[in-house]
Chain A
């Protein structure tokens, strides 16, 4: 890997990859990429490449896990061995197990869980290439895949991180800023309901900086939200144009 950069932000306030502090990485979203899944989505956010697949609602196996009053949401966040610089063992690590839980909990409030008792919905998230902020990109993709599967939802969940690189609060941290920055605040958000479903913090921030970071992350979320909606509509818009020629 390259040498440690001395500064994450230059004198003009430009970051290592040429972004301004409040700028998102370029994002590409696609829906319905896995024909065998009930719903799926693919996201590219900067160098992150993430695939999400949703199956269900379907019968619960093993049966004793079934909940009598609501559906069971299962979530698996997994990093491909080739997704990072140094080969990652394909076995689920402590970090992956924790992220699976955290992602599940951030998606749960958006789904009408009580509609389908005794069933389960499975969400599989595969990180093909990681470059910081994968949990946020994963939530964005997973929520899109859930909507694509036709699961009734209160709102789409969008996630975006903010943090502190050198001494500035910046939006959407990439790998180097994440590792060498001073703090990281991932936020998952439901824009129409104005509700936060995930809020974590890693590192140290003053109260004021924290507030700035959360607000910055929410602004970022809102931008990604409109892309999410476009991606969902794009799947059907293409057919419509062709047919109505």
Chain B
């Protein structure tokens, strides 16, 4: 039962990863007890399960995920939201208004208009239906301020870090609020523009170097350096 790659090694689609009693995990497929990679990524072993952590992928909706989307269409009975995925999501007015929706009285475009950003949760999605989202939960709803960054969706777990170590570190260092949409959209809200830019820099660095080791330490160091630089500027 050999495996042909060490953890963290880069594989490309079609590479034979393991043979024998293994379970094909994320971004892999099995054929005759052989496990192959289906995306470019890094090998990860989890007992008998072999995963490939993709370096680039797109977001597939899953019920329960928090996502950040943009309104692209205001219809007669709801909004169409671009959630950075192959499928557009649908948002119903009753969830936004938190009361029954009356088509005669309510003007939907006054509540949410094209281009508005929303933090939402996916209620349902399957192969045959487009995803449905809701904002009727605490912490969800229209985005009023802050900055948006888009990253490859597979890198969101890296930004979160082990048990949230990476985000909480960035939050602590920059004093920003960070909402991570699992669809690869990140919302940063800070007290000042400088704080936001600092958090932005950190996230860009994580995205670029997500497949390297010792990243949390390097990000901490970078943030500290940048912070002291900013303070020097202020003093001048």
Contact = CB atoms under 8 A, between A and B. Distances in A.
B38 A153 contact: yes
Contact of A150 (B14, B56, B128): B56
Contacts of A236: 10, 40, 55, 211
Contact of B86 (A58, A68, A153, A228): A58
Nearest to A147: B13
B36 interface: yes
B128 A244 contact: no
Interface in B24-39: 27, 29, 36, 38-39
Contact of B27 (A68, A119, A152, A191): A152
Contact of A57 (B15, B58, B211, B214): B58
A67 to B, nearest CB: 12
A117 B12 contact: no
Contacts of A190: 14
A92 to B, nearest CB: 27
Contact of A147 (B12, B16, B36): B12
Interface string A152-164: 1111100000000
18 contacts: A56-B86, A57-B58, A57-B86, A68-B128, A118-B87, A147-B12, A147-B40, A148-B40, A151-B39, A152-B38, A153-B13, A154-B29, A232-B12, A232-B40, A233-B10, A236-B10, A239-B211, A243-B215
B14 A155 contact: yes
Given A150-B56, A150-B152, A152-B29, 17 more contacts: A39-B56, A57-B86, A59-B86, A59-B88, A147-B39, A147-B40, A148-B56, A153-B38, A154-B13, A154-B29, A155-B14, A156-B13, A229-B12, A236-B211, A240-B212, A244-B213, A244-B214
Contacts of A155: 13-14, 36
Nearest to A191: B14
B218 interface: yes
Contact of B14 (A57, A151, A154): A154
A231 to B, nearest CB: 9
Interface of A: 38-39, 56-59, 68, 110, 112, 116-119, 147-156, 190-193, 228-229, 232-233, 236-237, 239-240, 243-244
B208 interface: yes
A236 B208 CA distance: 9
B48 interface: no
B136 interface: no
Given A153-B14, A154-B13, A243 B87 contact: no
Interface residues of B, number: 32
A57 B58 CA distance: 8
A129 B214 CA distance: 44
B127 interface: yes
A58 to B, nearest CB: 6
A243 B40 contact: no
Name the 8 nearest CB pairs between A and B, nearest first. Answer: A155-B14, A150-B56, A153-B13, A57-B86, A150-B57, A192-B14, A152-B38, A119-B86
A149 B127 CA distance: 21
A149 B14 contact: no
B207 to A, nearest CB: 10
A228 B58 CA distance: 22
Interface in B90-129: 127-128
B36 A244 contact: no
A239 B86 contact: no
Nearest to A157: B14
A150 B39 contact: yes
B209 interface: yes
Interface string B77-93: 00000000011100000
A149 B10 CA distance: 16
A239 B212 contact: yes
Max chain B C-beta neighbours (<10 A), residue from A38, A116, A150: A150
A118 B15 CA distance: 28
Contact of A149 (B56, B211, B218): B56
A152 B13 CA distance: 8
Interface string B26-67: 010100000010111000000000000011111010000000
